[in-house]
Amino acid sequence: MKRKDLDLEKSPVEISEGIYWVGYTDDNAGLHCNPYLIIENDEAVLIDGGNRDDFSTVMLKILRTGLDPCQISRLIYQHYDPDLCGNLPQLEAIINNDDLQIISHAENNIFIHYYSKKTPKRDFRSIGHEFAFKTGRKLKFFATPFCHSPGSFVTFDEKTKTLFSSDLFGSYDAGWKLYLDLDERCLNCEGAQVCERNGEKCPLEGIKKFHRQIMSSTKALDHTLDVLDSIDAEIVAPQHGSIISSVRDINAVKRHLRSLESVGIDYVLRNIK
């Protein structure tokens, strides 16, 4: 199916082998949330499952993949914000799997516990920084501290080289699209609020603004970009914003993020009058 023909309202979208976007669309939202489902034979993992109000949309799309929810064995939460953890109690009720576990970080689990006490919570460091499906397919976990919370991390699917980047690579996105659309002229552009070529809002500026305001500091972002450079991702699937589906575009976004002179508290202190 061509991207322009995708039914984002009702259908899950397979973004790589066995990986489905099961999010929602809202023309009035300035910040979109992207839950992802990985199906591997008779097992499944849900990453950053979504907020309470959009549970029905997320679950309907999960069901439309043909999956029985009880096949979900792990819920991965890459930080603890309500936009990705809010529907945890509803997920637990529908999944109804005694073997269900949450994978996150100890710093996150303290707060996830307030959404629900029911499901056992694991720190990804205590399980060797990875989760293996029964087939051997592996998800690797990499800490990205203070981008934006102390326990933030990213998840990498070795099979498809897909990086689930949490808030990293996210954007404020009033003109949201499922996939980031850059052309050759975007690669060397230094960015502007409005594109000189087509008069539209520059997507790279939205990404830079998001990171400047959401990430904690320049030092934290620089460290995390070094971590990301060690991962050979070919697709980036962020929790906010648009999916980046080429190495060329991933590198272009990284370059723009590296160009930020002040982020988070550094940006605030620099701009105090």
For residues 212-219, give the mean pLDDT.
94
The answer to whether residues 225 and 168 touch, using CB atoms and an 8 Å cutoff, is: no
Confidence tier at 97 by pLDDT (50, 70, 90): very high
- The strand pair at 72-76 and 101-104 is best described as parallel
pLDDT digits (tens, 9 = 90+) for 8-38: 878 899 999 999 999 987 766 667 889 999 9
Measured CA to CA, the distance from residue 237 to residue 15 in angstroms comes to 9
Alpha-carbon torsion (109, 110, 115, 119), positive or negative: positive
Mean confidence (pLDDT) of the chain? 90
| pLDDT reported for residue 32 | 80
For residues 174-183, give the mean pLDDT.
82
C-alpha closest to that of 20 among 43, 39, 42: 39
Give the range among 62-66, 104-108, 134-138, 265-269 with minimum mean pLDDT.
265-269
Measured CA to CA, the distance from residue 164 to residue 237 in angstroms comes to 5
| pLDDT reported for residue 2 | 53
pLDDT above 90: residue 186: no
Confidence tier at 258 by pLDDT (50, 70, 90): very high
Distances 75 to 3, 53, 225 between C-alpha atoms, Å: 28, 18, 25
| pLDDT reported for residue 71 | 97
Distances 242 to 34, 38, 143, 224, 250 between C-alpha atoms, Å: 9, 18, 22, 19, 11
| pLDDT reported for residue 5 | 62
Q: Please tell me the pTM assigned to this model.
A: 0.92
| pLDDT reported for residue 30 | 66
Q: What percent of the chain has pLDDT over 90?
A: 73
pLDDT digits (tens, 9 = 90+) for 73-89: 999 999 999 999 999 99
Q: Which domains are delineated in the chain?
A: 3-270 (3.60.15.10)
Alpha helices, DSSP H, located in the chain: 55-64, 82-85, 88-95, 106-112, 184-187, 203-214, 218-229, 247-258, 265-270
The answer to whether residues 166 and 48 touch, using CB atoms and an 8 Å cutoff, is: yes
pLDDT above 60: residue 242: yes
pLDDT above 90: residue 188: no
pLDDT digits (tens, 9 = 90+) for 135-164: 999 999 999 999 999 999 999 999 999 999
Measured CA to CA, the distance from residue 77 to residue 96 in angstroms comes to 18
pLDDT above 60: residue 168: yes
Confidence tier at 273 by pLDDT (50, 70, 90): low
